[in-house]
């Protein structure tokens, strides 16, 4: 991981390297989710469906 920092490179699904202009555009927010998107995974149910399955499992 330190190589990511030294190379100042973005790593898909893990790290982002952005210019100050982009951080300024995001109102100086340093939240990771503003710059690095989570990996897209197949087979994940939509939240309402997952909640229904979970509630049924509790009964």
Residue 56 covered by a domain: no
Residue 21 covered by a domain: yes
Domain of residue 7 covers 1-39
3-state SS track over 5-45: HHHCCCECCCECCCCHHHHHHCCCCCCHHHCCCCCCCCCCC
Count how many domains the chain has.
Answer: 1
Residue 30 covered by a domain: yes
Residue 31 covered by a domain: yes
pTM over 0.85: no
15 versus 57: the higher-pLDDT residue is 57
Residue 46 covered by a domain: no
Which tens digit of pLDDT belongs to each residue from 15-56?
Answer: 788 889 999 999 999 888 888 876 667 777 777 888 899 999
């Amino acid at each position: 991981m330190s190589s990511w920092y030294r190379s100042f490179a973005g790593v898909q699904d893990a790290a982002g390297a952005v210019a100050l202009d982009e951080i300024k555009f995001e109102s100086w927010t340093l939240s990771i989710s503003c710059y690095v998107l989570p990996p897209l995974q197949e087979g994940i149910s939509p939240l309402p469906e997952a909640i229904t399955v979970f509630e049924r499992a509790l009964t």
